Amino acid sequence: MVLAAATPAGALGLRIDASADAALPGEAITATVRLIGVESAPTGGVGAFDIRLDWSAGVFAVESVALLSALGDTTDVLAATANGASHARLTAVSLLAPDALAALQGDEIAIASVVFRAVAPGRTTLGPTLFRVGDALGAYLAVDHFEGAVLRVVPEPGSLALLGVGLAAAALARQPRR
């Protein structure tokens, strides 16, 4: 489930696409972080970003974080995402000239991929709480719009069946005996 509407024309936006909306405990979901409306940047595209993603660590655990090659040659900085972490910081600065960067990027670029492992039943919103984006010359670019994702961990069907059997047994035990 995506939160928010489409990015308006001529605006820079941030969108998170998930491979699925729900998972059973132990299953993985991959989220791709994208910048959209990149061609609206005045000087040849996006040259740097600093984005913090947040989620509920009780529902999903991060398995891996990878920066993608949308900025060409970069100096990359990834925040450590240890067990129990509830956020990841994605930071990169391009080393390319503005014209080379513009040739590399289209209107939409995938900047990072995060793999989550479902831990326990529940729901979390995966979204940015901090985002700074710069153009090829280092000037700040306003991100006018963002779309996060809602991810759920659903109980295993066997767990629900066991709960049903337990409730039925409790109901039978409460009936008066004749």
Predicted local confidence at residue 7, as pLDDT: 46
**Given a cut of 50, is residue 97 above it in pLDDT?**
yes
**Given a cut of 70, is residue 178 above it in pLDDT?**
no
Instruction: Enumerate domains of the chain plus CATH numbers.
Output: 13-174 (2.60.40.680)
**Given a cut of 70, is residue 110 above it in pLDDT?**
yes
For residues 99 and 90, what is the distance between their CA atoms, to the nearest angstrom?
24
Greater pLDDT, 91 or 165: 91
For residues 95 and 141, what is the distance between their CA atoms, to the nearest angstrom?
18
**Both tokens of residue 80?**
């450590």
Residue type, 131: F
26 to each of 82, 119, 121, 155, 156, how far by Cα in Å?
17, 6, 11, 11, 10
pLDDT bin (cut points 50, 70, 90) of residue 119 is very high
User: For residue range 63-72, what is the model confidence (pLDDT) as tens digits?
Assistant: 888 888 888 8
Taking residues 161-171, what's their average pLDDT? Answer: 73
pLDDT bin (cut points 50, 70, 90) of residue 165 is confident
Q: Report the mean per-residue pLDDT for the chain.
A: 82
Greater pLDDT, 73 or 137: 137
**Given a cut of 50, is residue 80 above it in pLDDT?**
no
**Given a cut of 60, is residue 21 above it in pLDDT?**
yes
**Given a cut of 90, is residue 10 above it in pLDDT?**
no
Taking residues 127-143, what's their average pLDDT? Answer: 87
Taking residues 77-103, what's their average pLDDT? Answer: 76
Pairing of strands 74-78, 87-94: antiparallel
Taking residues 40-69, what's their average pLDDT? Answer: 86
